[in-house]
Structure 1
Amino acid sequence: MAPATTEQAAFQSSPAIAYDLGNLAAQSGIDNHVFITPVRGWVRYPLASTSVTKTSTRFPIVIFLHGQHDPTVPSYQGYDYLAQDLATQGYVAISIDANAINGSAGNGDASSRSRAQLVLGTLDRLRDIDKRGGPGMLDQLKDKLDFTRVGIMGHSRGGQGVANTLKYNITRVGVTDDDLKAALLADPSSFNTDYPDLAAAVIDTAPGTRTIDTPRFQAALWEYNIFGAAGAESTPPYNFKAALMLAPTDFSGNLGLNNVALAVLLPSCDGDMADLEGARTFDHNRFGFDSDMAPRFQILVRGANHNFFNTIWTDDDYPSTNATDYCANRPDGIRLSAQDQRRGGQFLVNSFMRRFVGDEQQFAAYWNGTAQLPEAACPEGKGPCDSRTVLSVQKSAAYRTLVQRFERNDSLRRNDLGGAIALSGFDSIANCRMPFGDSDTVGICTPERLPAFEYSGPHTKGLLSIADHLELSWFKPNATLITVLGGMSASAYDSLTFRIAIVRPAGQEVLVTMTDTTGHSATVNASDFSDALYLGPQPKADGRPMTDDPTDAPFAAGGVAQLLNMIAIPLAAFPGVDSGSLSQLKLTFPKAIGKVAVTDIEFQKLGRP
């Protein structure tokens, strides 16, 4: 069992300190609209150490970025439970106020370019404080910030802001004084309310003609402490170690997120991002370049909604009480309360940051898929509750050998090793490509997508993962998929992994048979190693998943949003099989009826003991 993040505080935390570090001229990526956003929010940092073994001259940094919400509400304060926990463990936690973007940037700047500029601009100001000291209590951060260890979490559009932060970290888009002058000339009235002296720098020289009074403009920049978003040519990049995208948007396709440990957290009952767009982000970025050593993670939290991870966002964004709705908020439903949702969120967010930003190895077992959730992360603080959270892990190229991901034209004839594939007992089969582009782009399936797998945008109940995959349907038990391994060695790895989506009914079993070149075989039940084979947050029991649970009858016809989730089976679970010389892998589906999607069959070194 993984340790709770709240155990053994090593430092006293500062209070939540409101900071105001000036005003940033930022730019929307939708229409290149230039506007001004304050650089403000809350920060917590470690004070006196409570442990002689926990001393540090410099502290890692973790940043929180909220999403699109009512701009009159202090959304940035909603992650203070995460920040306080991190500060007691030796981290500087900063929660950024992005309300000016929500209120001014053309429907919140769906591109989230300006959110990235705000994150990077905040780090720029913190870098100055680290060198020269800062105002008030922030002066205690001088010579204390470790910019070689930075983590970032973004919620909703803040998640897309995280994606852009990683991309613009190296190729920044800057805003110059000339850009701000052009925005002033185009619409001086938009600056009147908050920056009247800046608007006053615009002078009407003749009917229909305007100019900028340069001395007034410069004086206003000084008065309001306005600075433009820095360009790539003027500012060195930051060393982001970890990025967590919490129920993110993926409006423009979050592509090219490389060389940083990346996690996408998906609430199964998200009423805002009901199409779970973050699944697209994970699928598009799960395989990095061969030189990219960073792992990727998808975290499905069953029964969680969009809002409750933020203590300020108190409205239930999925308020349905419909008796046939999988996510209905009713006494016998699967929904998590706000408090219980945050119990799990605190462990998932903070243990991820502590593992990959702070390199705290006590959390490695959970993020390698081998440890259970701590009881503190469970509803009412009582475990076990691993069926609540399904973790998918994708290691880098150095720690995997891919057998099949179904992206090639001949994927139904041979695998990525060159071995043959044999399918038997299925009445319908479809090979589906991964689409690129914005969140409405749908992949092409050959010969066609199977019924109940349809991906049709918001509030769909089909398969929401868009990775290249195989769709399978059968009406008789023991349909099989056999892939030839050709004598390959898996000695460098510790696990067989594959991703599967259960489309109907609510539970499935997979019998996994491994055979070596001498003919020795062993078969295991995949459900003994994973909670991914059951749609609901119920553990394997009472015959599940082979026996249909009567409480799931309303959902058995496919009324649930499905994702491709990982099953990981230790190679040591196949007794007598020589992993150094494998001949074939067989997946058997013993249930009498079913529809599933399968992809990413591979051997991985997860780091199991």
Structure 2
Amino acid sequence: MRGISPRRLRLLATACMAALTLTASPALAADAADPLEAGPLATKKIDYEAGKLVVTLADGVSTTQIPLRGSITYAPENDFSRVVAFVHGRHAACLGSPSPGQQVCDDLVDENGTPIQTDVRSYGGYDYMAKNLASHGYTVMSLEANTTNFDNGFTDGGARVRSQIIQANLELLWRWNNGAGPYVAGEPDHTVGTKLVGKLNFAEGIGLMGHSRGGDAVTDFIGYTRNLSPRSGFQRFTLDGVLALAPVNYTAYKMPYGTNYAVLLPACDGDVSTLQGARFFENAKYPNLTTPTAVDNFAKVQWYVQGTNHNFFNTVWTQDDASTTTDPACSRQQPATTARLTPADQRRVGAALMNSFFRRYIGQEKAFDPIMTGEVTLPASAAPLTSGKGLEQEVKTSYVAPAAQRFDVLRPNSIPDPQPDPATGATPTPADATLTTTTASGGPISTSGLTAFAVCNPNDIAWRQGPTFPTAYPVCPEGATNRSKGNQFTVAWDGPGAYLRAFLGRAAAPVDVSKYGVLDLRAAMNRADPRNPAGDGYTPNLVTQNFDVTLIDASGKRVSTRAANWSTALQPSIGNQFRHIVLNGIRIPLTAFAGIDLTKVTAVEFGFSSPALGSIQLADVMFQETAKSTPAPSPATEDEPEAPKPDGPPSAPPGPIVDAPPVATTPITTTLESPKVVCVDTVKPTAKLAKVSLARKAVLISGTAADTGCGAAIQSTLVEIYTAAGKGKARFVTVKGTLSKALPLTGGIAITAKGTSAWSVSVAKAKLPKGTYRVRVSTFDKAGNLKKLPLKTVKVS
């Protein structure tokens, strides 16, 4: 099998997957690959030592020496492989004490041969992942970052120094590939020598995984390598995928853009218990909103993994990092209730997720898409064998596609005004009041019966760098325990009939979403809010919050599905010390909305009637993923199966259960949910433009509106004021009384009028150029029916 080409490897992999008999599992799609299956290639591991590296510390002055060493796992028979590098975090550097002037330990024994000092080779803790990847044709470098004097005392926690270490080791691998690397002393079978010459593919981009402080480092390295000057003498590396495993975020303000990016959050992390990596995912979602030069061309993934701790992803780090013995879900000392995974089970779950990420985005193996998007949780091969709460409970996935592959509806982030680096404490960008009145796609937002609907941010300055960006929004409910530190909506209701309706098009015009396959949103239950079911702290699916998700088309037809049928995101987090609020994905295939005209969708509606009380956090409502040619399965009906009974000790009283039917939490079944069609309102509202006048300081426009259709109610009135700017274009008046740049007449800026039955708009005229302006009024009711009034003119002098 010498000289296997990349094409040959792909054919072998395809044949292996085609021959694989998949174990029946509700969490495994028929077309999903098994990331734990070994590949066809034999592998070899080489430990290398290649001298010392002098690095500059974060103060820009101090330096220290560290060893260039680690391991390389590869398939000798592969002729051209993609590259992945692993970076461990801060851990004990040795058993014993380093010799004077040394940063790492020597391996020493006494006269009897008993070890008295041993270097802790943390880089060897990911061999189980490296071997699997190498068997599929990848070359994996796991590099050492054991030092003692650059982690603490600097605000970045050593991230920039670790970027220098990553750079130096990758350049070492680059030189070996080009026949110019150092000869590593040792037995011929244990040295790199010329074994890798011409065998590595750096041109198409490499992958990085960093654990703990290594996760902060690989996130830092995205910008580090991008900003290297071509004249610096250093090699700039192209990155196709970066994964941060349980990372710290001491450099919290960094925006990880320019590559596919993933974060894995261990729900029982006793070291980084605040799940600081969730902030990196929030930073990565919409890079062009915070970094004008960023291009949103890459996928973003977050995995919240139940029952996993910080250390056990690394086989060398054998100590349990849990800092409690009483937490019912995260303590291994509570066997009757614990959700904890054994070290072996945890590594199986971790390898399935992380290796899937690299094979999808480094190797372009699209069979792993279902694990990235959350269509499946894990394959049966990764199911915990002896621990945890079951396959469907282990992983909660959030996925945000590249901008060109999605249609954003509710995105509680707007493009901020230019501002200095947020690490400097710049003045916060003013709050954007339109986030609760206008969708990301330009349509209006309407609500009814909600006791809360507002944008908040859980940036409570709990860690070294403070907020991701200075924010003028209020802190979210339960701020310190809300780990998704980015803008989000708080939604609360105190009785049945409440809803939130988001229109897709300007003036509620229909939008064609038929090219997309799913409706995605991210949500979490506010655990401490008494309006929500409390659960028992250790049975994740004992209770759940729920609401209806409805699509409405241009004919007025409505089809609904239940949110909790598709995800475990609305279950309360379990445990007491490690209680978290993390926004997790709810992925609903558009086949669940059978009967809706997907070419003319006017709105997405969230209906809050059952349960009749509740409080949630909501963000990132979007259509994404390419529609499949065959229908996706729908969720189980609400009558079966029954929710599992509590598995805790009989003496533990159950928490309150919401008055709603139990629902399945896995999205695989064989029947489509019956559409829920209600009153269809096709009657247009009536509207009248009563006055267009020019006051001393403002342009005043007012009128009236009424509706007689079923469920009659005026939604709102939009007023467009513009002046011609060439063929088919105009400059529109903004709410601030300024003119926009030239925009298409059909896609301009509309101002939402105050009031419904009687409405009005007042715009300051001080900044408006003199001339003739046209006024266009559109009134629509809550079913989306439109009434457009004839154009009027007003002269500003």
- TM-score > 0.5, shorter chain as reference: yes
- CA distance 1:353–1:281, change in 2 (3 Å): same
CA distance, structure 2, for counterparts of residue 273 and residue 559 of structure 1: 11
Contact 1:153 1:244 in 2 (8 A): yes
One-letter amino acid of the structure 2 residue matched with residue 374 of structure 1? P
One-letter amino acid of the structure 2 residue matched with residue 422 of structure 1? S
CA distance, structure 2, for counterparts of residue 447 and residue 57 of structure 1: 54
One-letter amino acid of the structure 2 residue matched with residue 171 of structure 1? N
1:350 is aligned to: 355
2:105 is aligned to: none
Instruction: Provide, for residues 321-360 of structure 1, a one-character-per-residue CA deviation record: whole Å limited to 9, x for no partner.
Output: 225x542332121111111111100111111111111112
1:526 is aligned to: 563
Contact 2:52 2:68 in 1 (8 A): yes
- CA distance 1:406–1:434, change in 2 (3 Å): farther
Shift of 1:449: 3.9
Structure 1 residue 601 corresponds to structure 2 residue 621: yes
- CA distance 1:445–1:105, change in 2 (3 Å): closer
1:236 is aligned to: 235
1:364 is aligned to: 369
1:20 is aligned to: 49
Mapping of 1:446-595 within 5 angstroms? 448-449=474-475, 451=477, 453-455=478-480, 462-485=481-504, 486=508, 487-504=510-527, 505=533, 507-535=544-572, 560-589=579-608, 590-595=610-615
Mapping of 1:269-348 within 5 angstroms? 269-289=268-288, 291-322=295-326, 325-329=328-332, 330-331=334-335, 332-348=337-353
Contact 2:53 2:67 in 1 (8 A): yes
CA distance, structure 1, for counterparts of residue 585 and residue 151 of structure 2: 39
SS of the residue aligned with 1:350?
A: helix
Shift of 1:270: 0.9
CA distance, structure 2, for counterparts of residue 5 and residue 417 of structure 1: 37
Shift of 1:30: 4.5
CA distance, structure 1, for counterparts of residue 473 and residue 374 of structure 2: 35
2:399 is aligned to: 393
Contact 1:170 1:232 in 2 (8 A): no
SS of the residue aligned with 2:50?
A: strand
Structure 1 residue 424 corresponds to structure 2 residue 424: no
Quote the RMSD (CA, aligned, Å): 2.6
Contact 1:41 1:94 in 2 (8 A): yes
CA distance, structure 2, for counterparts of residue 104 and residue 439 of structure 1: 17
CA distance, structure 1, for counterparts of residue 41 and residue 253 of structure 2: 37
1:141 is aligned to: 196
- Structure 1: state its 5+ residue gaps: 49-55, 174-230, 456-461, 537-551
Structure 1 residue 124 corresponds to structure 2 residue 171: yes
Shift of 1:467: 1.9
2:466 is aligned to: 440
1:57 is aligned to: 79
Shift of 1:245: 0.2
One-letter amino acid of the structure 2 residue matched with residue 341 of structure 1? Q
Moved more, 107-116 or 404-413: 107-116
Shift of 1:259: 2.1
Structure 1 residue 155 corresponds to structure 2 residue 211: yes
2:250 is aligned to: 251
- CA distance 1:443–1:128, change in 2 (3 Å): closer
- CA distance 1:104–1:434, change in 2 (3 Å): closer
Q: 2:40 aligns with which of 3, 7, 10?
A: 10
Q: 2:144 aligns with which of 97, 100, 103?
A: 97
CA distance, structure 1, for counterparts of residue 404 and residue 494 of structure 2: 40
Shift of 1:247: 0.6
- CA distance 1:282–1:232, change in 2 (3 Å): farther
Contact 1:434 1:443 in 2 (8 A): no
Contact 1:429 1:450 in 2 (8 A): no
Shift of 1:126: 1.3
CA distance, structure 2, for counterparts of residue 107 and residue 606 of structure 1: 48
CA distance, structure 2, for counterparts of residue 607 and residue 454 of structure 1: 37
The normalised TM-score by structure 1 is 0.79
- CA distance 1:104–1:260, change in 2 (3 Å): closer
The ranges of structure 1 where at least 4 consecutive aligned residues each deviate by more than 4 angstroms after the TM superposition are: 103-109, 381-384, 433-439, 442-448, 606-609
CA distance, structure 1, for counterparts of residue 350 and residue 589 of structure 2: 27
- Relative contact order higher in (CA < 8 Å, ≥ 6 apart): 1
1:190 is aligned to: none
SS of the residue aligned with 2:526?
A: strand
Contact 1:299 1:392 in 2 (8 A): yes
One-letter amino acid of the structure 1 residue matched with residue 437 of structure 2? R
Shift of 1:295: 0.5
SS of the residue aligned with 1:379?
A: coil
Shift of 1:411: 1.7
- CA distance 1:105–1:248, change in 2 (3 Å): closer
Instruction: Provide, for residues 185-227 of structure 1, a one-character-per-residue CA deviation record: whole Å limited to 9, x for no partner.
Output: xxxxxxxxxxxxxxxxxxxxxxxxxxxxxxxxxxxxxxxxxxx
Shift of 1:299: 0.7
Shift of 1:254: 4.9
Shift of 1:172: 3.4
SS of the residue aligned with 1:488?
A: coil
Moved more, 237-246 or 249-258: 249-258
- CA distance 1:448–1:263, change in 2 (3 Å): closer
Instruction: Provide, for residues 388-410 of structure 1, a one-character-per-residue CA deviation record: whole Å limited to 9, x for no partner.
Output: 10111111110111112123322
CA distance, structure 1, for counterparts of residue 409 and residue 396 of structure 2: 22
CA distance, structure 1, for counterparts of residue 449 and residue 308 of structure 2: 37
CA distance, structure 1, for counterparts of residue 122 and residue 627 of structure 2: 38
The normalised TM-score by structure 2 is 0.61
Shift of 1:75: 1.2
One-letter amino acid of the structure 2 residue matched with residue 359 of structure 1? Q
Contact 1:30 1:110 in 2 (8 A): no
- CA distance 1:40–1:571, change in 2 (3 Å): same
SS of the residue aligned with 2:173?
A: helix
SS of the residue aligned with 1:584?
A: strand
SS of the residue aligned with 2:133?
A: helix
Higher helix residue share: 1
- CA distance 1:521–1:343, change in 2 (3 Å): same
SS of the residue aligned with 2:492?
A: strand
CA distance, structure 1, for counterparts of residue 503 and residue 449 of structure 2: 18
SS of the residue aligned with 1:79?
A: helix
CA distance, structure 2, for counterparts of residue 532 and residue 30 of structure 1: 42
1:53 is aligned to: none
- CA distance 1:533–1:434, change in 2 (3 Å): closer
SS of the residue aligned with 1:141?
A: coil
